[in-house]
Amino acid sequence: MVSAARREILLGVAMKHARGRFGFLLIAMMALGAQQLSAQSSIAEQLREQWTSSRRQMVRIAEAMPADKYSYQATPEVRSFGEILAHVAGEGLMEMEAVGGASQPGSPERFSSLRGRAEIIRALSEYFDYGTTVLARMTDQQALEMVSLRSSQSPRWIIVMGAIGHNKEHYGNLVTYLRLNGIVPP
Amino acid sequence: MTRPRAFIVLLFAMAGLAGRPAHAQTGNDSPLLGPLKQNWESIRTNVVRTAEIVPEDKYDFKPTPEVRSFRDLFVHVVEENYFFMGAVTGERTQPPGNLRTKAEIVKALNDSYDYGAKVLAGLNDRTALEMIQRGQRQVPRWSFALGNIVDNMDHYGNLVVYMRLNGIVPPSSQPRQPQR
């Protein structure tokens, strides 16, 4: 099923590029094609599903930890609860910017000075909102195209998968942090 | 809690380049299956290395009484590898039961990742994207492999904290200095 929001994004993209004589035809084709996009998409749609589920999971665990426990770390040499979330948001946002075609992806460390629960949850939302927008308009063909990240070329889909896997790996840390604080994970 | 991401991404990129085999298995793979196989081998390395470096007398360690021990997590990963990769092909291979010793668990983990690698080696782009039934829905075959890797990452994330609580540097952090 294609949501109304996604159709609007696709139409927006089509109109932006509709400069020539085929503009109107292109818009009409996109409007019809958008209805079929999800059904035909076996790669991008899987990424969207994994993304949505990862987002829900990360936001829920961030909200489950009380603000005064954000500085908790399991051992002295590892990141605190809040630092893990800020790391996930910063590195993930940089990767999704590469996927989305940003000319200059931001620093993966951009959120690492954040300490407060509210500002860290905001950073997490910024990361997931950006990724949701990038994925909303992605086709399977675009998912398989190579883009530049960290001076090498990778297909877009594996960078998205890397970000989701990275979320999940750190979610696995956070679950254990919660348990160590006597909190049952959401 | 760090991991050699740049290296992993580089491996994926190498696997994606036509005619540039980064790994014997992935030499002629598409931009879909090449990186997928590399991802499988990467999580395999981290989980199997963990099972190898954790001393056997720590296998029953659990950070709190209500959660899985090291041993329970390893056995769970073996089971989920057979479950998810079996779903890719539609066959149901039973995981080995009654795993107790470290040697048995390391072998069972390796066997389960070998099984997954064999399943992935049997796919091409067409069969990977073929829609099959999952409950009430139609999903592409490869989605189970994706789910398997993502779930493995979750449990590896648990294992990383377990290792730190025992003063062990996780394999994903070993090539570099421990970072915060």
* CATH number where A65 lies: 1.20.120.450
Residue A161 is assigned to a structural domain of this protein: yes
Interface predicted TM-score (ipTM) over 0.90: no
* B9: pLDDT strictly greater than 90: no
> With an 8 Å Cβ cutoff, is A158 touching chain B?
yes
Q: How many CA atoms lie less than 13 Å away from B165 in the CB half-sphere?
A: 19
Number of alpha helices (DSSP H) and beta strands (DSSP E) in chain B? 6, 2
pLDDT, tens only, A26-70:
444 454 444 444 445 799 999 999 999 999 999 999 999 999 999
What range does the domain containing A32 cover? 1-40
Residue range B5-173 forms a domain whose CATH class is mainly alpha
- A35 and A73 fall within a common domain: no
Q: Is residue A185 domain-resident? A: no
Verify that A17 and A104 share a domain, yes or no: no
Spell out a b/e string for A11-31, using b for 16 or more CB atoms within 10 Å of the CB, else e.
Answer: eeebeeebeeeeeeebbeebe
- More confidently predicted of B40 and B17: B40
* Same domain as A159, residue A122: yes
Question: What percent of chain A has pLDDT above 70?
Answer: 78
Interchain contact A173–B (C-beta under 8 A): yes
Two tokens, residue B145 = 């492999």
| Ramachandran quadrant class, B10 (left: phi over 0; alpha: psi -120 to 50; beta: rest) | alpha
Report the mean per-residue pLDDT for chain B.
87
Q: What is the pLDDT of residues A138-183, one digit of tens each?
A: 999 999 999 999 889 999 999 999 999 999 999 999 999 999 999 9
Residue A67 and residue A117 in one domain: yes
User: Is residue A49 located within the same domain as residue A35?
Assistant: no
Give the residue from B154, B168, B169, B172 with the most A CB atoms within 10 Å of its CB, the best one to mutate. B154
Q: What is the pLDDT of residues A91-101, one digit of tens each?
A: 999 999 999 99
Q: State the nearest Cα–Cα gap between B139 and chain A, in angstroms.
A: 8
Q: Give the span between the Cα atoms of B142 and B87, in whole angstroms.
A: 9
pLDDT of residue A14: 42
Asked whether residue A186 is domain-assigned, the answer is no
pTM: predicted TM-score of the whole model, two decimal places: 0.81
Q: Which residues of B touch A165 (CB under 8 A)?
A: 39, 43, 149-150, 153
Same-domain check for residues A96 and A49: yes
| Residues A48 and A28 both lie in one domain | no
A157 → chain B, closest CA residue: B32
Domain match, A165 and A175 both: yes
If one counts the domains in chain A, the total is 2
Which residues does chain A have within 8 Å of residue B176's beta carbon, measured at their own beta carbons?
A: none
Domain ranges of chain B: 5-173
The residues that bridge with A154 in the sheet, in sequence order, are: A147
Contacts of B37 (CB under 8 A, 6+ apart): B15, B23, B25, B26, B29, B117, B120, B121
One domain, residues A164 and A130: yes
- Minimum-distance CB partner of B180 among A78, A150, A175: A78
